[in-house]
Structure 1
């Protein structure tokens, strides 16, 4: 009730422990707090908050138009709805190194377990499209060092994303990843790797945890969780999957409603009201409300209130 009872500190500690466990952590993207609740209920290890999804939900392209306030606000709401760790996409850090440092502080205050910064030129582009540009290595190292130095909770994870694979090639991307790890990055996110061999090359070269992005319609082969775990990957994200599932169903449903003039045929595929109430834990709120407002005033309490002139509880 009222979100997660697990503290942000405990979630971060759990994330760190998961990264050190040797098993693969599966983190689907959640575009809302309710979806995050469902991610937890279905047995995943964490929740990912995608910048591309947040942009799309605002009917904007993923080209760096969202602000730190928007991203942290949505990320905090999602993180607060679940006891799972949460990883936030913070693009290029919203500006210069000092902005990246502030981004860490804001993400910490919002209750996130970690965030990732990328080495694209700002404004950025979707990592699986052509036309990307990356900053030089010293510029990215400045972003990373600022971010790492700004955190107050040592368990808050700072992940470095490199988009260099599609711009400078695999070897350059690996060299960047090694430099980012040396600068203090806790995890490496190598965007748009092609296949198993490229993940193997990263795993052989980098000592810190690795993150794989299994996004649909992208440049990466969609590898199974079992395959990624065997390759030594530590985290897999499915950033846009839930949004695509939902929007596909919404579009199909609206077209049916427009054509038929009734939603009657759609009802069997809908989430029921009872199921929705179960997800938002409606019963606990009702029980809490009843316990606070429905009570019996004893004669002794009434006498004390009358004597001291107080009105008692209402």
Structure 2
């Protein structure tokens, strides 16, 4: 039985366009003890492939982290399936504010050591002793309190295009990088301040809140459901929106607009812009912010060198890449000497 995707992204994209059916983009996570992640992975793949679910799913001994695109007409089948899994019954589904039928083009279910790369040794602290979960209303109340320190647990390329007003936004490439930096910066306030954290959907704060409690922080809070659920509650309850700009998301949409504020700039010309692209040179693929004018001028490339390579016939590009490892720039997410206006 086939337990992996055989279609290319272009082939899948064509099928989705031909079908023209509505799809829902959503995410969820759950920490749970999974004895055989490989067996669980196969169980998920078989079931979801049958109902045309697409997405990126990580499974580990510690749980599951899933970002998905589900056919709208089969959502009830999908929900019934996950509700039959004891630790996923009624799990919170973070349903996207904006939907795109091509948010994901393949179904990838991977077994990982951890569902989020945090660099922590979970055996050294109680991962279940988490911070207090708060909804959008309580979150707004907390961050209005002068005794609160608000921390963005995401990476620099995420917070650059959008964040909560007054938040500390660490200039880090990865989640694991932020943990020690935040603790060092706030070490004088472990007992006298409210430490309030947020991330995209909540998963990073689940682990970070337990870790910071272990490290001596007394008043630890986390935004339930992250920015995605906050936005939904703000709209439904007509609350004041404290988030400015866009929320970065990890699918082909790359972001959801939360407010009309544009707080970032084109990395090539400095013009106000908050649109992420990947360099069209596949040997580079650098994620960076590019305005429409620069995209047209540079053919969606980050540099003149990449522009020249991307203009070559595909087979020539492929030959140039042969035998070479992926460029480190792929993993730098907007950090490159060729970008004049990277913040």
The TM tier, using the shorter chain, reads under 0.3
Q: Give the TM-score normalised by structure 2.
A: 0.23
- Richer in strand (by share): 2
- Richer in helix (by share): 1
Q: Give the TM-score normalised by structure 1.
A: 0.25
